[in-house]
């Protein structure tokens, strides 16, 4: 694939054609301005569904347009649906009425971005967390946190770019929250602009009737649409490389036509890549944008009819966008053409599965289910002997775990990779492992403590996953983006990341169980029930052993993989040191217990500190942004991590204070 400079060269002049005026992403096309078009019908469900299954390449992988839309909305809007503000729908009598508040699905919103951009620009789709950002770029705010439309933000774009430039000059780790949000807002606006200009080349008419020579080539009519023009690709290539005499205005007319094509091409750079590449090209992995089709058709001696056919369908959809029935028929043609080409390349097999994954939304549903399980768990504290409450808690926790596992399996199948690839994956996988171990522990002990820990871990893990999902999307545009080359599929790597994550899960669950022991003792909950606390102690001990087993095995497998990939088994990398520290800490805990240096209280303290060690290895070393594992760096996590450590040290202090009190009471003679 050639670089993205203009390739529309006029041979007679012997230099690259430089376009005097380019389409800017900040302004809609002329035709859109003149029409000021608004969609005055509700998108039919079958149209939205068919559109959602169209494949597109984004984030280094092929995904459905529904995913592109949902991820874009989530990044800008904070959620996957959009409250459109003013939309149109049919009432019970079949009359068209305005709907003041109507939620748009991701695909329905993207349809508006493509075919009714003026309407999409008016949607309040941008979430502003800090109103001072608007003040700094000369705009008025409604309240501290609110949603704004592109049109409302448009007057401040120039000032926003300056503020963003200032923020980028500050080292990432030292940026203020306001600077980070300024950069994000600018990024969100740029991403939105790439979507609303996607169909701009299809909105234009290209001058082909200026001279008799051009009419003879392109037929009657003063203008042509893009697809109709590119269908004469051989003639366009001939015009481009033939030195035309400036007779009858031919030279000026051809130059003007090529300028129009170049303007259309440049205006849609970085828009979605929806066209599978031509089979004769060496780069078969990278899909084409509309700009690529224009350039390659005009410059390369190949038949691009398959790619031009996709543009023709898009052009037909644009022409019939006010007629839902005709639009759907043209969409069916595009769907058949595009999916047929993608299927022939073996790149369409997981599209429907990904659409189903986001329709199911297993992690949100799992979070809600664990919330309900937590409420039932709290109710059992008030009425501990209620079997309906207990069984309801178990059932809801099981449903939440099922949602979690189903979501993880879907992601594995779609990516054809193990369950742990990114930091976001580790949250989901560790949560699932922790809840599953809690179920097994509860089945063995029957004390209701492990089940409570599993519910809390499931709730906390999925809440954390939902929060971190936004950071993952902001940095890579996806939660299933292509991985760093060194992390590509490898047997040893798959075993390493899976088992080490299971070790993390064990360490965190052990810490959670230790919290139950410490808080119970501190607040006198069944303080005379020695069997209960002995049971919690034994559970914690068993889970610590589980953590040690999988941490050691995972660390060794990581060394084997490192030797295979990097040529050395161990290099004292921060992430390697973190994994080793987990193993050493758990070994120290078990040896102190075995030697009689610590008993139940001391073991609980060591388990809580073990949770800090696990979090430091899991997240802390990534903040160093050094070493071969620096691809896991995530800004904005340090404050949350330090807060977590402070809380955990407070729990340790509570346990030690309780131990001192307990020791003092034992040494006091009975009255």
**What pLDDT digit, counting tens, does each position of 3-62 carry?**
444 544 433 333 222 322 333 333 444 333 334 478 888 899 999 999 999 999 988 889
Distance CA 148, CA 141 (A): 9
Distance CA 273, CA 61 (A): 11
Name the pLDDT band for 481 (thresholds 50, 70, 90). confident
* Same domain? 462 vs 496: no
**What's the pLDDT at 269?**
77
Distance CA 373, CA 379 (A): 10
What 3-state class would DSSP assign to 635? Answer: coil
**What's the pLDDT at 23?**
33
* Same domain? 655 vs 516: yes
212: in domain: yes
Indicate if the pLDDT at residue 574 is higher than 90: no
Q: What would the mean pLDDT of 492-499 be, rounded to a whole number?
A: 87
Instruction: Return phi, psi of residue 575, to 5°.
Output: -70, -40
What mean pLDDT, rounded, does the chain reach? 85
Asked which of 427, 457, 478 is the last residue of a domain, the reply is 478
* Same domain? 402 vs 548: no
**What's the pLDDT at 381?**
85
Indicate if the pLDDT at residue 626 is higher than 80: no
**Closest among 583, 577, 575, 581 to 552, alpha carbons compared:** 583
**What's the pLDDT at 9?**
42
Per the listing, tokens 């047929």 go with 340
Q: What would the mean pLDDT of 86-115 be, rounded to a whole number?
A: 72
Indicate if the pLDDT at residue 617 is higher than 50: yes
Helices 574-594 and 530-566 cross at an angle (nearest 10°) of 150
Cα 2 from chain centre: 29
The b/e string for 234-251 (b: 16+ C-beta within 10 A; e otherwise) is eebeebbeeebeeeeebb
* Same domain? 188 vs 303: no
* Same domain? 152 vs 243: no
What 3-state class would DSSP assign to 345? Answer: coil
* Same domain? 555 vs 488: yes
Burial class of residue 286, CB neighbours in 10 A (0-12, 13-18, 19+): middle
Name the pLDDT band for 635 (thresholds 50, 70, 90). low
pLDDT tens per residue across span 217-226: 888 777 788 9
pLDDT tens per residue across span 360-373: 999 999 999 999 99
Q: What would the mean pLDDT of 107-125 be, rounded to a whole number?
A: 93
Indicate if the pLDDT at residue 501 is higher than 70: yes
* Same domain? 223 vs 295: yes
- In angstroms, what CA-CA distances link 49 with 20, 54, 404? 41, 9, 25
71: in domain: yes
Indicate if the pLDDT at residue 88 is higher than 60: no
Q: What would the mean pLDDT of 246-264 be, rounded to a whole number?
A: 82
**What's the pLDDT at 421?**
82
330: in domain: no
**Closest among 410, 512, 495 to 461, alpha carbons compared:** 512
* Same domain? 492 vs 468: no
Distance CA 68, CA 52 (A): 9
* Same domain? 631 vs 501: yes
**Closest among 385, 223, 397 to 315, alpha carbons compared:** 223
Dihedral of alpha carbons 450, 456, 462, 464, sign:
negative
**What's the pLDDT at 16?**
26
Computed over its alpha carbons, how large is the radius of gyration of the chain? Answer: 30
Q: Could you tell me the residue range of the domain that residue 395 belongs to?
A: 362-478
Q: What would the mean pLDDT of 492-500 be, rounded to a whole number?
A: 87
Question: What is the 3-class SS of 473-492, one letter each residue?
Answer: HHHHCCCCCCCCHHHCCCHH
555: in domain: yes
Q: Assess contact for 500 and 425: CB atoms under 8 A.
A: no
338: in domain: no
Q: Assess contact for 559 and 569: CB atoms under 8 A.
A: yes
**What's the pLDDT at 320?**
95
The b/e string for 428-442 (b: 16+ C-beta within 10 A; e otherwise) is bbbbbbbbbbbbebb
Per the listing, tokens 């501990």 go with 384
* Same domain? 544 vs 563: yes
Helix/strand/coil percentages in the chain, nearest 5:
65, 5, 30
Least-confidence region, from 40-54, 170-184, 582-596: 170-184
671: in domain: no
Indicate if the pLDDT at residue 116 is higher than 80: yes
75: in domain: yes
4: in domain: no
* Angle at 23 (CA atoms; ends 22, 26), nearest 5 degrees: 130
Distance CA 252, CA 293 (A): 24
Per the listing, tokens 């729990």 go with 651
Indicate if the pLDDT at residue 631 is higher than 60: no
* Angle at 670 (CA atoms; ends 666, 671), nearest 5 degrees: 145
What is the tally of structural domains in the chain?
4
* Same domain? 429 vs 489: no
pLDDT over 90 for what percent of the chain?
54
pLDDT over 70 for what percent of the chain?
86
Name the pLDDT band for 144 (thresholds 50, 70, 90). confident
**What's the pLDDT at 2?**
46
Distance CA 151, CA 163 (A): 19
Residue 309 tokens read as: 């056919």
Burial class of residue 52, CB neighbours in 10 A (0-12, 13-18, 19+): buried
Q: Per DSSP, what are the bridge partners of residue 56? A: 63
Distance CA 646, CA 620 (A): 14
Asked which of 320, 347, 372 is the last residue of a domain, the reply is 320
**What's the pLDDT at 136?**
93
Residue 550 tokens read as: 């999988």
Name the CA dihedral angle for 166, 171, 172, 174, rounded to a multiple of 10 degrees.
Answer: -100
Terminal Cα-to-Cα distance of the chain (whole angstroms): 90
**Closest among 542, 536, 541, 623 to 578, alpha carbons compared:** 623
Name the pLDDT band for 669 (thresholds 50, 70, 90). very low
Q: What would the mean pLDDT of 448-464 be, rounded to a whole number?
A: 94
Indicate if the pLDDT at residue 152 is higher than 60: yes
**Closest among 604, 586, 459, 587 to 536, alpha carbons compared:** 604
* Same domain? 653 vs 541: yes
DSSP assignments along 169-211, one per residue = TS-GGG--HHHHHHHHHHHHHHHHHHHHTTTHHHH--EE--SS
Asked which of 427, 454, 478 is the last residue of a domain, the reply is 478
């Amino acid at each position: 694939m050639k670089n993205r400079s203009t390739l529309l060269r006029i041979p007679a002049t012997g230099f690259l054609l430089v376009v005097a005026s380019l389409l800017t992403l900040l302004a809609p096309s002329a035709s859109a301005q003149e029409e000021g078009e608004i969609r005055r019908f509700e998108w039919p469900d079958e149209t939205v569904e068919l559109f959602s299954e169209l494949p597109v390449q984004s984030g280094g992988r092929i995904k459905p347009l529904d995913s592109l839309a949902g991820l874009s909305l989530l990044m800008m809007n904070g959620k996957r649906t959009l409250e459109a503000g003013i939309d149109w729908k049919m009432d019970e009598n079949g009359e068209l009425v305005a709907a003041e508040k109507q939620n748009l699905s991701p695909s329905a919103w993207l349809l508006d971005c493509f075919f009714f951009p003026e309407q999409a620009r008016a949607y309040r789709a941008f979430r502003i967390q800090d109103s001072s950002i608007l003040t700094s770029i000369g705009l008025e705010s409604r309240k501290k946190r609110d949603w704004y439309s592109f049109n409302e933000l448009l007057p401040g774009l120039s000032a926003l770019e300056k503020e963003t430039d200032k923020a980028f000059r500050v080292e990432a780790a030292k940026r203020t929250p306001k600077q980070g949000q300024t950069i994000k807002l600018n990024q969100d606006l740029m991403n939105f602009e790439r979507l609303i200009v996607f169909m701009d080349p299809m909105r234009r008419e290209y001058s082909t009737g200026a001279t008799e020579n051009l009419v003879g080539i392109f037929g009657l009519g003063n203008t042509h649409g893009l697809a109709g023009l590119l269908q004469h690709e051989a003639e366009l290539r001939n015009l481009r490389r033939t030195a035309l005499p400036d007779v009858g205005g031919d030279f000026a007319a051809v130059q003007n036509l090529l300028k129009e094509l170049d303007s259309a091409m440049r205006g849609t750079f970085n828009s979605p890549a929806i066209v599978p590449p031509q089979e004769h090209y060496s780069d078969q992995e990278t899909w084409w944008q509309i700009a690529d089709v224009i350039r390659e058709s005009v410059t390369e001696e190949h038949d691009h009819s398959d790619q031009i056919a996709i543009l023709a369908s898009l052009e037909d959809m644009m022409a019939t966008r006010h007629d839902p029935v005709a639009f759907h028929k043209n969409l069916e043609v595009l769907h058949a053409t595009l999916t047929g080409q993608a299927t022939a390349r073996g790149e369409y097999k997981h599209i429907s599965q990904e659409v189903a994954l986001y329709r199911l939304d297993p992690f949100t549903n799992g979070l809600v289910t664990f919330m309900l399980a937590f409420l039932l768990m709290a109710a059992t504290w008030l009425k501990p002997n209620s079997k309906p409450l207990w069984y309801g808690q178990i059932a809801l926790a099981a449903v939440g775990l099922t949602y979690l596992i189903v979501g993880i399996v879907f992601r594995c199948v779609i990516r054809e990779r193990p369950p742990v690839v990114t930091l976001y994956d580790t949250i989901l996988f560790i949560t699932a492992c922790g809840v599953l171990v809690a179920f097994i522990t509860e089945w063995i002990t029957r004390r209701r403590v492990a089940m409570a820990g599993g519910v809390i871990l499931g709730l906390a893990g999925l809440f954390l996953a939902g929060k971190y999902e936004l950071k993952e999307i902001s940095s890579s545009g996806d939660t299933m983006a292509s991985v760093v080359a060194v992390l590509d599929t490898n047997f040893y790597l798959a075993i390493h990341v899976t088992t080490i994550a299971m070790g993390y899960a064990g360490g965190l669950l052990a810490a959670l169980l230790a919290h139950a022991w410490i808080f119970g003792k501190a607040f006198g909950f069944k303080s005379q029930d020695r069997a209960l606390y002995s049971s919690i102690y034994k559970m914690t001990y068993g889970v610590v052993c589980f953590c040690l087993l999988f941490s050691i095995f995972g660390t060794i497998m990581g060394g084997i993989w490192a030797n295979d990939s990097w040529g050395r088994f161990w290099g004292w990398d921060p992430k390697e040191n973190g994994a080793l520290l987990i193993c050493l800490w758990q070994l120290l805990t078990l040896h102190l217990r075995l030697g009689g240096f610590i008993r139940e209280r001391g073991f609980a303290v060591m388990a809580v500190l073990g949770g800090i060690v696990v979090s430091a290895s899991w997240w802390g070393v990534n903040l160093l942004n050094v070493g071969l594992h620096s691809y896991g760096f995530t800004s904005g996590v340090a404050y949350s991590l330090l807060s977590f450590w402070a809380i955990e040290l407070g729990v340790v202090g509570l346990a030690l204070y309780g131990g001192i009190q307990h020791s003092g009471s034992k040494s006091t003679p009975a009255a």
